[in-house]
Amino acid sequence: LAMAGMVGGAAQAAPVSAAGKSEFVSVKKTHFARKGKTYYIAGANFWYGGYLGSPSGVGERARLRKELDAMKALGINNVRVLAVSEKTEMSSAVRPATTNGPGKYDEDLLAGLDFLVDELGKRDMTVVLYLNNFWQWSGGMTQYLNWFEGTPALDPNVTRDYDDYMAKTARFYANKDAQKEYRGTIKKIVQRVNTINGKPYRDDPVIMSWQLANEPRPGNGKAGDKEKAIYTTWIAETAQYIHELDKNHLVSSGSEGLAGSAQDAKLFMASHSTKHIDYLTYHLWPKNWGWFDSKKPVESWDGAIAKSRDYLNSHIDIAKTLGKPIVLEEFGLDRDGASFDIKAGTSIRDRFYGEIFELVQRRAANGDPIAGWNFWAWGGAGRAANADYWWKQGNDFMGDPPQEEQGLYSVFDSDASSLALIKEHAGKLRALQK
Ligand SMILES: O=C1NC[C@H](CO)[C@@H](O)[C@@H]1O
């Protein structure tokens, strides 16, 4: 049996297709393989997919099915989803949370994840599940420190001091109590049995990869050797722990690349050369990183796209050096005029998406280790509810988590030109699968 694995003595037979090729996404040198073919990711970020699947409360199962059908129709084959959130007092975090306190889980929200995974299986789609967050919008590492250090969970949207936030949040990696709780949660999710279809997650090829966290960083831009060493050890040991629990699935870090590695290429390479990390990830945020000024698009476009191309290409070259696939699993740009209004145009964003898609397609067609993309993020039928565009509990979920204006980076079901572009390029990537 392909991919047979032993966990706790019981043989875990990996499901195989009639052709005897593993259903699980695997890594073959610098490419993904699935069902006997190379596999490219034409994906969407859909952080709230599990929330929509919940049987009660925030759940909207009819909407979830509609969103997945819409994505499938565009040729989207993968979604990247938040699997775990922590209840927190930080104002710009999602409510409710899958974890209400150490070891206290919201079974309804976790059943939402079950429903999402089952619905994805019906559509032959795969999912990357991230198990923590460096940022505040789902509680994340800062909330663990509030639980186990007793330090206040300070929302950087309130303090406006992201440098201080990042330096403090990185204390998570070396906090033994926080790590014990985090590993307990990892075990709870990885060894979960789907309450909708009875399948153990470990044996479900719908799951493509477990991801340590969303955008884990070693600290802020001034992180020193000690922080970098702690971060590197944390990635390797946590990834190894997940592989010990689950012999079938890939493990990735959720890193942004150099932007999430204190701009230190050596750190990005050293922290991802461990055999326990199966593929590399990176993210591209020209506006967030100050490369693009959406209020001065003409003046800032050339510089932004040049830096973006360099960022895209240099990380593919790092992947070549490390001999692993790499996925551009987040990228985005705001609407024309830096508007959050769904009626605002998306001409600049469409041009940016087109540049990304074409560069990735070119390098992938050339056999380089770029394995696809996930745009940030699927807004679908979600609509902003408030004049100030900020999210309040009970409002629609959409691509923008609660720490950002609702409409900032979301691709809505009414953004016809963006959806057409996504469909065109998803098809081109799919054509490479042989
Ligand atoms: O993971 C992330 N990366 C960038 C997104 C847009 O700013 C942000 O919402 C999210 O925290």
Confidence of residue 304 (pLDDT cuts 50, 70, 90): very high
For residue 6, what pLDDT band results from cuts at 50, 70 and 90? very low
* Complex ipTM more than 0.90, yes or no: yes
**CA dist., res. 179 & res. 376, Å (int):** 29
Q: How far apart are CA 107 and CA 56, in angstroms?
A: 11
Predicted local confidence at residue 15, as pLDDT: 79
If you average pLDDT over residues 18-36, what whole number do you get? 89
DSSP assignment of 14-71, as one string? PPB-TTS-BSS-EEETTEEEETTEEE-EEEEE-TTHHHHT-SSTT--HHHHHHHHHHH
What pLDDT, in 10s, does the model give residues 341-396? 999 999 999 999 999 999 999 999 999 999 999 999 999 999 999 999 999 999 99
Q: Which atom of ligand 1 is nearest to the CA of 403?
A: 9
What pLDDT band is residue 21 in, cutting at 50, 70 and 90? low
What whole-number percentage of the chain has pLDDT above 70?
Answer: 96
Residue 16 confidence (pLDDT): 77
Model confidence band, residue 75 (pLDDT cutoffs 50, 70, 90) = very high
pLDDT of the residue at 393 = 97
Handedness of CA 346, 80, 180, 88 (dihedral sign): positive
Name residues whose C-beta falls within 8 Å of residue 226's C-beta, 6 or more positions apart in sequence.
Answer: none
Do residues 396 and 363 lie in contact, with contact meaning Cβ atoms separated by under 8 Å?
A: no
pLDDT of residue 62: 98
Per-residue pLDDT band at 301 (split at 50, 70, 90): very high
Identity (one letter) of the amino acid at 43?
A: G
CA distance 81 to 99: 16
d(CA 74, CA 56): 29
- Give the burial class of 267: count Cβ atoms within 10 A of its Cβ; 0-12 exposed, 13-18 middle, 19 or more buried: buried
Predicted confidence band of residue 14 (pLDDT cuts 50, 70, 90): low
Closest listed residue to residue 189, CA positions, set 141, 236, 258, 132: 132
Residues with CB under 6 A from ligand 1: 135, 214-215, 283, 285, 288, 330, 332, 376, 401, 404, 409
Give me the mean pLDDT over the 156-178 stretch: 98
Cα-to-centroid distance, 212 and ligand 1 (Å): 16
Q: Output the CA 294–ligand 1 centroid distance in Å.
A: 17
| The token pair that represents 190 in the structure block | 């990885």
Q: How far apart are CA 422 and CA 411, in angstroms?
A: 10
Pocket test for ligand 1, best of 131, 136, 215, 282 (most atoms within 8 A of CB): 215
Q: What is the dihedral of CA 332, 338, 342, 347, to 10 degrees?
A: -70
Whole-angstrom Cα distance, residue 349 to residue 417? 10
pLDDT at residue 2 is higher than 80: no
214, 335, 376, 409: which to mutate for ligand 1, most atoms within 8 A of CB? 376
- Gap from CA of 399 to ligand 1 centroid (Å): 10
| C-alpha 403 to ligand 1 mean position (Å) | 9
Ligand 1, atom 7: closest residue by C-alpha? 288
- Which tens digit of pLDDT belongs to each residue from 258-273? 999 999 999 999 999 9
Q: Which residue in 198, 177, 249 sits closest to 24, CA to CA? A: 249
Report the pLDDT averaged over residues 101-120. Answer: 98
Of the listed ranges 15-19, 87-91, 304-308, 317-321, the least confidently predicted one is: 15-19
Amino acid in position 29: K
Report how far ligand 1's centroid is from the alpha carbon of 235 (Å): 20
Task: Render 128-166 in DSSP notation, one character per residue.
Answer: EEE--BSSGGG-HHHHHHHHHT------HHHH--HHHHH
313 Cα: distance to centroid of ligand 1 (angstroms): 21
Mean pLDDT of the chain: 96
Query: What value does the mean pLDDT take over residues 237-247?
Result: 98
pLDDT (mean) for 412-419: 98
Sheet holding 370-375, edge to edge: 250-252, 207-211, 126-130, 78-82, 41-45, 370-375, 326-331, 280-284
The model's confidence at residue 1, banded by pLDDT at 50, 70 and 90, is very low
- Counting from 1 in the atom list of ligand 1, the atom nearest the Cα of 332 is 6
Paired tokens of 313: 């290409």
What confidence score (pLDDT) does residue 12 get? 52
Q: Is the predicted pLDDT of residue 7 greater than 50, yes or no?
A: no
Compute the distance from residue 401 Cα to the ligand 1 centre, in Å: 8
Q: How far is the CA of 343 from the centre of ligand 1 (A)?
A: 22
Pocket test for ligand 1, best of 330, 333, 334, 389 (most atoms within 8 A of CB): 330
